[in-house]
């Protein structure tokens, strides 16, 4: 689905990554680990075409990122659900409308939005918060709303950037459960995180693989995690 072929990318004078090759295959579950500043967010941005590699190429659903127009990239991103670390919402719109925004961008009708949104909010446990404004949500509720927004267009791939970084353990497990369910539905999932306990918990439920960023490389970590 997403393939990085000898990708290099950097800021300023040096490469943050060099010669990274990786395939996110259908139905795979990956964790991406590494210290702060190692480039986890940058790696995710390369995967969904927000950044262009300085060398090498990224293939998204069979198309080379270097040959894709802005419109092509926008269409491809409809198949990629992105849960950003900062969970930005439009504070003047209720949760239901915030979650439905990607559908509006994709040209879906209001009837489609109404048919999808209630079921999705119930699935993430936010049915009672549908009319609430984002500032009234707790941290865990915001993250679940962000996940609902990311998957409203039924993407094939879900990329999550530190989705549990500001949550307590109970809420982290609740969010992980939703991501595991999506993977069992056949979705490809990649989660950037530094939480090794979360990784161990997930590996007991799904055959998750762990990628570690170190020294400009992205490598499969050992089984000791």
What is the per-residue pLDDT across 128-154, written as a single tens digit (0 to 9) for each?
999 999 999 999 999 999 999 999 888
Structure tokens at 177: 């459960």
In the sheet with 55-60, reading across from the earlier edge strand, the strands are: 14-24, 2-11, 55-60, 63-64
Q: Which residues of the chain have pLDDT under 70?
A: 12-13, 109-115, 222-225
Separation in Å, CA 223 to CA 23, 176, 196, 203: 19, 20, 12, 10
pLDDT of residue 222: 62
Structure tokens at 16: 């943050």
The contacts of residue 126 (CB under 8 Å, 6+ apart) are 95, 141, 144, 145, 148
pLDDT of residue 215: 78
pLDDT of residue 115: 57
pLDDT of residue 107: 78
pLDDT of residue 141: 93
pLDDT of residue 223: 45
Rounded to two decimals, the pTM is 0.91
pLDDT of residue 136: 96
- Residues 159 and 103 sit within 8 Å (Cβ to Cβ): no
pLDDT of residue 225: 41
pLDDT of residue 202: 92
pLDDT of residue 114: 55
């Amino acid at each position: 689905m997403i393939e990085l072929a000898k990708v290099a990318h950097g800021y300023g004078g040096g490469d943050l990554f060099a010669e990274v090759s990786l395939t996110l295959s259908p139905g795979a579950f990956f964790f991406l680990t590494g210290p702060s500043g190692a480039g986890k967010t940058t790696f995710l941005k390369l995967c969904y075409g927000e950044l262009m590699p300085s060398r090498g190429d990224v293939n998204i659903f069979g198309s080379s990122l270097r040959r894709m127009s802005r419109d092509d990239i926008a269409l491809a991103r409809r198949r990629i659900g992105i849960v950003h670390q900062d969970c930005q919402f439009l504070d003047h719109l209720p949760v239901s409308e915030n979650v439905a925004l990607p559908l509006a961008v994709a040209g879906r009708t209001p009837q489609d939005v109404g048919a999808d949104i209630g079921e999705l909010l119930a699935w993430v446990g936010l049915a009672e918060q549908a009319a609430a404004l984002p500032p009234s949500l707790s941290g865990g509720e915001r993250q679940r709303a962000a996940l609902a927004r990311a998957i409203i267009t039924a993407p094939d791939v879900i990329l999550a950037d530190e989705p549990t970084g500001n949550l307590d353990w109970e809420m982290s497990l609740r969010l992980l459960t939703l991501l595991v369910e999506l993977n069992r539905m056949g979705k490809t999932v990649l989660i950037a995180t530094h939480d090794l306990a979360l990784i161990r918990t997930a590996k007991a439920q799904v055959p998750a693989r762990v990628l570690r960023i170190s020294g400009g490389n992205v490598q499969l970590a050992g089984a000791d995690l």
